[in-house]
Amino acid sequence: MKIYEANGNRFILGEEKIDVIKMCREYECDGYLQLYSHQMKVFNADGSKASLCVNGLHCFAHDLYDKNPDYRVYALLIGSEVYKCEIESLDPFISKLTIKLPKIYRNFVDVGNDHMICFEEDKKNAEIYCQRYMCNINYVKVINRKCIEVITYEKGVGFTKSCGSGNVASSYYCYVNDLTDSCLDILNPGGICSVRIKNDIEIRCASHFVREI
């Protein structure tokens, strides 16, 4: 098994079944990505299953490239959904993931998993909101039309250094509500990524191999 990190989000990658809670606690990881060929199952740090993990897909593509550098474009599967991921740079290692446009209802955004968008500064209610609405909670601050800051409380994990699907949800919500332009940078506690919105959403971020376990 290996550990990869994307934009501050750290995951264990492997093919076998493991004690997810124990291993994530021991290696201070946000989740376990169980891999088979180009398919991925996502388990949160508390052992629960997740329907999407954008930063995990960046890590998955990085792992596939490390195993066989002949390819730079991948079709990655989570459940029945296919995601295109393209390696754009090797040093630093940057990949671009393409995602279909989310659905918005009120301040909730469905990216493949559900996110609630909040603009309030007080984050003390994050766990309550997460349990009440059964979704990830994103605290968004608009810096300017080309930059936002996002802090995510992730279901099954808690506050994370980064959440890729939260970045997609937050940027799309801000764009649709004319708070930002279609191309913007996103600041997370774990790093910076970028998003381009058109007929779909492209999200770029850096990843790196941490260690074997």
Residues above pLDDT 70, as percent of the chain:
100
**C-alpha span between 114 and 99 (Å, rounded):** 14
**Residue 153 is which amino acid?**
Y
Buried b (16+ CB within 10 A) or exposed e, 57-75: bbbbbbbbbeeeeeeeebe
pLDDT above 80 for 127: yes
pTM: 0.95
Distances (CA, A) of 21 to 29, 35, 126, 164, 203: 10, 18, 21, 21, 29
User: Would the pLDDT of 120 be above 80?
Assistant: no
Give first-to-last CA distance, the chain, whole Å: 5
| pLDDT tens track for 167-202 | 999 999 999 999 999 999 999 999 999 999 999 999
For 69-94, the pLDDT digits (tens) are: 999 999 999 999 999 999 999 999 99
Domains of the chain: 2-88+205-212 (3.10.310.10), 103-203 (3.10.310.10)
What is d(CA 103, CA 127) in angstroms, rounded to the nearest whole number? 23
Mean pLDDT for 142-162 is 96
Centre a 10 Å sphere on the Cβ of residue 192 and count the other Cβ atoms it contains: 15
121 has pLDDT over 80: no
Q: Give residue 122's pLDDT.
A: 84
